[in-house]
Chain A
Amino acid sequence: MTVPILEMKDIGKSFPGVVALDHANLDVRPGEVHLLLGENGAGKSTLIKILSGAYTRDSGSILLEGREADLSTPQAAQEQGIAVIYQEFNLVPWLSAAENIFLGREFSTSWFKPHVNRRKAEMEAWKILKRLSADINPRAAIADLGVAQQQMVEVAKALSMNARIIVMDEPTAALTGKECDTLFSTILDLKSRGVAIIYISHRLEEFHRVGDRATVMRDGKTIKTLDLADVDVEELVRLMVGRSLKDKFPKVPATLGDEALRVENLSRGNKVKNASFSIREGEVAGLYGLVGAGRTELARALFRADAPDSGKVYLSGKEATLNRPRDSIRAGLGFLTEDRKGQGLVMPLGVDENVTLASLDQFSRPGFLSRAKQARSARQFVGRMRIKTPSLSQEVKNLSGGNQQKVVLAKWLSSDAKVFLFDEPTRGIDVGAKIEVYQLMNELTRQGKGILLISSELPEILGMSDRILVMCRGELVADLPASEADQETLLLLAAGGGKTIVQ
């Protein structure tokens, strides 16, 4: 048998009130894609951060090619050939893509070492981005890029290190079909060159597509490592969640009421062109499209997070004058943004405070907040959605990525909006909790609320929508009942092929 390129043995790590890792073991062979699977809060990211020197372990040892290695700082780990794409982006917003890709490893000029060679960095960045078929200007500031493009910059950064071990913590959470495909072919290419890849994902359909072996984690322990050839997805899910999940999309057919929301000719720059659609009470309208198609921009303009150039919004048949997000909330819109860190959560506040942030009216008498009521509501969501947290008052910045996402969701689910705009609501949420989220969505529709579900995951769109809208380059190109849609049609429509189908 080949010597593992990496062995992590009996790794332990505790945070105040939480045992994040408990005798975790991981061995990775050169040239393999090793999946690291587990529920939200199982300890995947923590294990990775110990490998990358971002955290120091409490106990255990790490061997690289059989030898004990010093991985005490990010620098040391980089020097050992370990590159990490973290779950939360680690980019500097005001630096360019090229500057970010080579941050900490700038090229020097021959005549004066501290002088950075900007041009060389841009050339190299350009080459790597091209290899990834990413259409990104190496000089563009990160702040001007979309989430998917930022993700590609992170990938480029990891590639540029010529590492022997590359860790990818949920790299596809922000990507759609096309970018995923390039990412996967890049992974294959790396594999063939003997690079080992540790791959974390909650997307079931990817497991067998990229993985060679998988290690499943639960509650900080690594419970099993298996060959993907010997195991099917159901079994993996059972190992992760500890029980088998039958119906992954428990969709309850809608009983449709009156029109809840109608949008007419909404436009904003060249991102959203003349979008018109409506959602009825009790209906889930799925909105699909490739990254950059303008789905988020549509939702933002609708909610008035950005000012649209034109367009009318009708709620329950009446035209609504919306100028600011505040007006939209008053009028009964709820908007779950795709960027939880930047726009969804107040990081230094507790779980309970975040959950109730959008619905404080329910918990207050004039001038007072009822802490007890607030806690009761928060506790309910923590239980149902299995938000893994040591206490209700834990600061959300200390939760795992998926659990943070659950908190944002809970926040909007407990608000009393009439129409919800959900932008990638289940991003980074594990399979078990996703079902719980879908059931909560069912409850909303049963109460007659309308939902606009923006998602890059086709199975989710197909499984949970009553109607499906497709966007392509800023235009709504299709509006069809879910029963008439299938994967191929949607992909074709989203890519700009096929004729426009608007009813």
Chain B
Amino acid sequence: MSSDYADDAVDKALERSDFFKRARGSLGPLIALILICAVMAFLSKSFLTAGNWLNILQQVSMVSIIAAGMTFVILMGGIDLSVGSIVAFTGLITAALMKYYNIDPWQAVALGIASGAFLGFLNGIMVAYMALPPFIATLGMMSIARGGAFTITNGDTIFSLPDPFLIISERIGRIPIPAIIMLITFLVCGYVLNFTRLGRYTYAIGGNETASLLSGINVMRCKTAIFTISGLCCAISAMLLTSRLDSATPVAAEGIELDAIAAVVIGGTSMMGGEGRISGTIIGVLIMGVVNNGMNLLFIPQGPQKIVKGAIIVIAVMVDIIRKSRQGNN
């Protein structure tokens, strides 16, 4: 049989089903995002302006980069509670290297990012080779990294960082550099998840770990790599935060793990692992960002803001579950 014939047959028969399958993955969250935007646009005139949107991108850039790494971990069937602490730790290390040791800012950034990746790597070692449940391993790391951050400066904050370092949080034209870094991160993560072995194995391990093992996948190495990616994302995010605040503090990014997890889950990724996509996470992050921004524009106080955020998480996941059970019926 000629291979052309095969090509055509496969393509013709399958392209359509494939398209729908891929589209419906993040369709639910996307509709939610559009609805929320519509409501906000109705309530506030300044919402739809380019300036406001660039602001939103700037605001979500930090948590979204963490959420990108978290997507890997959750898809693999794990969870990473240590992200906030790793952000604080790497931010502080970088600041300390620049301020106390007078190391060149770019070298300090490189070292800081390496330290974040290393903490993630340690998470991976604990989960993969010591068989600790991810919840426990990263809960431990959460405390260790936070404690490490406190120890470096005795709990003090480091202020006034060198100018070159502050460039990270500036703008090129009107576009915030953090937004650009965020975009690049998502493109890279999306590429890795969808087109590389590591990405395929992330889905495979989350979907059925035994099957992955028996198919000859080096599951332990993959898990280590995935937690390292999460640590790396935290470190990148830490640079944005530290630069933007022009200071590093050991209490930075407390509780950010919950925002990151929420974004991933709102984006339709299953907490059980194996199912979900990075585009969903982008949408999840934007939903949270838009809601935050909108409520600020409307001068809604912190208390109600939190209530609304919580409700959105619950509703988003509920809608997704209902949608999926409907699909199962067809």
Contacts and interface: CB of A to CB of B under 8 A. Distances in A.
Contact of A103 (B6, B14, B21, B204): B204
A94 to B, nearest CB: 5
Interface in B7-47: 7, 9-10, 13-14, 17-18, 21
Contacts of B208: 90-93
Chain A residues touching B, range: 35 or more
A106 interface: yes
Nearest to B192: A114
A346 interface: no
A74 B213 contact: yes
A95 B203 contact: yes
Given A90-B211, A92-B212, A94-B203, A75 B329 contact: no
Contacts of B215: 74, 90, 103-105
B195 A115 contact: yes
A10 interface: no
Contact of A116 (B10, B17, B196, B218): B196
Nearest to A113: B197
Contacts of B274: 92-94
Interface in B149-205: 195-198, 200, 203-204
A210 interface: no
Contact of B6 (A90, A99, A127): A127
B204 A95 contact: yes
B211 A92 contact: yes
Contact of B207 (A92, A105, A127): A92
Given A90-B214, A91-B208, A116-B196, A123 B6 contact: yes
Nearest to A90: B211
A267 to B, nearest CB: 14
Interface string A468-497: 000000000000000000000000000000
Interface in A50-105: 52, 54, 73-75, 78, 84, 86, 89-95, 99-100, 103-105
A306 interface: yes
Contact of B275 (A84, A94, A118, A306): A94
Contacts of A95: 200, 203-204, 207
B216 interface: yes
Contacts of B17: 137, 139-140
A161 B198 CA distance: 21
A122 interface: yes
Contacts of A116: 195-197, 200
A103 B275 CA distance: 16
A467 B123 CA distance: 61
A185 to B, nearest CB: 19
A73 B17 CA distance: 37
A306 B329 contact: yes
Given A114-B198, A126-B6, A78 B216 contact: yes
Contacts of B10: 122-123, 126, 138
A429 to B, nearest CB: 23
A337 to B, nearest CB: 15
A78 B214 CA distance: 9
Given A94-B275, A114-B198, A116-B196, A52 B214 contact: yes
Contacts of B6: 123, 126-127
A99 B194 CA distance: 12
A74 B3 CA distance: 32
A252 interface: no
Contacts of B3: 123
Nearest to A76: B216
Contacts of B18: 139
B2 interface: no
B21 A141 contact: yes
Contacts of A307: 329
B200 A54 contact: no
B211 A103 contact: yes
B330 interface: yes
A75 B9 CA distance: 34
Contacts of B330: 269
A365 to B, nearest CB: 37
B216 A137 contact: no
Interface string A159-192: 0000000000000000000000000000000000
Given A86-B214, A90-B210, A93-B274, A137 B197 contact: no
Contacts of A141: 21
B111 interface: no
A91 B211 contact: yes
A73 B220 CA distance: 13
A114 B197 contact: yes
A127 B218 CA distance: 28
Contact of A54 (B9, B13, B204, B214): B214
Contacts of B197: 106, 114, 116
A301 to B, nearest CB: 11
B207 A93 contact: yes
A139 B14 contact: yes
A229 B196 CA distance: 51
B217 interface: yes
A105 B197 CA distance: 9
Contacts of B9: 126
B14 A137 contact: yes
A134 to B, nearest CB: 14
A140 B21 CA distance: 9
Interface in B280-330: 329-330
Given A94-B203, A115-B196, A127-B6, A104 B217 contact: yes
Contacts of A86: 214
A97 to B, nearest CB: 11
B208 to A, nearest CB: 5
Given A90-B208, A94-B274, A306-B329, 8 more contacts: A74-B215, A90-B210, A92-B274, A103-B204, A103-B212, A103-B217, A106-B200, A123-B6
8 contacts: A54-B213, A54-B214, A90-B210, A92-B208, A105-B216, A126-B6, A126-B10, A307-B329
* Complex A-B, nearest 5 residue pairs according to Cβ-Cβ distance, in ascending order: A92-B207, A90-B211, A104-B215, A75-B216, A104-B216
